[in-house]
Structure 1
Amino acid sequence: MKYEEFLARVRERGEYDSQDEAAKISEAVLAVLAERISPGESEDLASQLPGPLGASLRDARPQRAESFGIEEFYRRVAERTGAHTRTAQWDASAVLTTVADAISGGELNQVISQLPSGYAVLFGKADLAD
């Protein structure tokens, strides 16, 4: 998937006003995801994302993964975007369902396997959220 297509899908799913807004939200969500998954997995994911999104993920990658739940994930996204937590939930879903479309199934499984089951719904995989 090309960068412009990725942003167009995020924009449509998130009902954002512009590609720039979709890019800003995408970078924020991916930066928080990078804090939650292992550095190696973050690198693997970055290699499958288009354009500057992979670079954003690499730049945000900490030395090791932090362990936090989904509510903290939303809080961190909200902090980065200046939005309410409820809006951050919408934002995370718009971006991560697009990530699920853009990467291989094997890579998606590896990312989801590093997260508590509640995260799966954000990737459009509600059946894995049990």
Structure 2
Amino acid sequence: MPMRHEAFLSQVQEQGRYATAQEAERVARVVLALLGAHLVGTVRAELAARLPEEYALILLNPLQAAEPLSPERFVRATAAWIEGATEKTALWDIGAVLSTVAAAAGDVLTRKVLLQLPPGYDLLFGPAQST
């Protein structure tokens, strides 16, 4: 059963301590588009099935990554896509979104997702944190 849109968004908003749902929505879209570019096959489909439809579509119709981004480059790419973001705020945004994605996915699927990503992404799936 996919997570409901409102539940997903409010969890991202709470994790990231965003003032508005619009802010949470904006970072969720960017992070999921970048994540989707790194996932393939059944793992991507299984993860999409656990997300609200709107976010599942973003995950399933991603930008195609020419090569997998290292966690550091993923953070830089996120910062570049979010207006006014820095690498530090992007790291926070990624944590807010990916910890919510991990909660929706559950441990087994989250491990499968991490197997498709370059080493170090496990740190990005933790709760939002400033460095």
Structure 1 and Structure 2 fold alike (TM over 0.5)? yes
From the two aligned structures, give the one with the greater helix fraction. Answer: 1
Residues 1:96 and 2:98 aligned together: yes
The alpha carbon displacement at 1:116 in A equals 2.7
Return the alpha-carbon distance in structure 1 between the equivalents of residues 53 and 118 of structure 2: 28
Return the alpha-carbon distance in structure 2 between the equivalents of residues 97 and 65 of structure 1: 25
Query: Is residue 34–residue 74 contact of structure 2 (8 Å, CA) maintained in 1?
Result: yes
Q: Deviations over 1:17-46 (max 9, x none)?
A: 111111110010011111222254323211
Residues 1:105 and 2:107 aligned together: yes
Q: TM-score, normalised by structure 2?
A: 0.84
In the TM superposition, 1:1-130 aligns within 5 A as 1-60=3-62, 62=64, 66-82=67-83, 83-124=85-126
Q: TM-score, normalised by structure 1?
A: 0.85
Q: Tell me, which stretches of 5 or more residues in structure 1 are unaligned?
A: 126-130
One-letter amino acid of the structure 2 residue matched with residue 69 of structure 1: S
Query: C-alpha root-mean-square deviation of aligned residues, in Å?
Result: 1.9
Query: Is residue 74–residue 88 contact of structure 1 (8 Å, CA) maintained in 2?
Result: yes
One-letter amino acid of the structure 2 residue matched with residue 100 of structure 1: A
Return the alpha-carbon distance in structure 1 between the equivalents of residues 61 and 39 of structure 2: 14
Query: Is residue 39–residue 117 contact of structure 2 (8 Å, CA) maintained in 1?
Result: yes
Q: Tell me, which stretches of 5 or more residues in structure 2 are unaligned?
A: none
The alpha carbon displacement at 1:51 in A equals 3.0
Query: Is residue 11–residue 18 contact of structure 1 (8 Å, CA) maintained in 2?
Result: yes
Query: Is residue 31–residue 60 contact of structure 1 (8 Å, CA) maintained in 2?
Result: yes
**Cα 1:49–1:65 shift into 2, 3 Å:** farther
One-letter amino acid of the structure 2 residue matched with residue 18 of structure 1: T
Return the alpha-carbon distance in structure 1 between the equivalents of residues 66 and 43 of structure 2: 10
Percent of aligned pairs with the same residue? 37
Q: Deviations over 1:79-126 (max 9, x none)?
A: 11121111111000000001011113221111011123311022129x
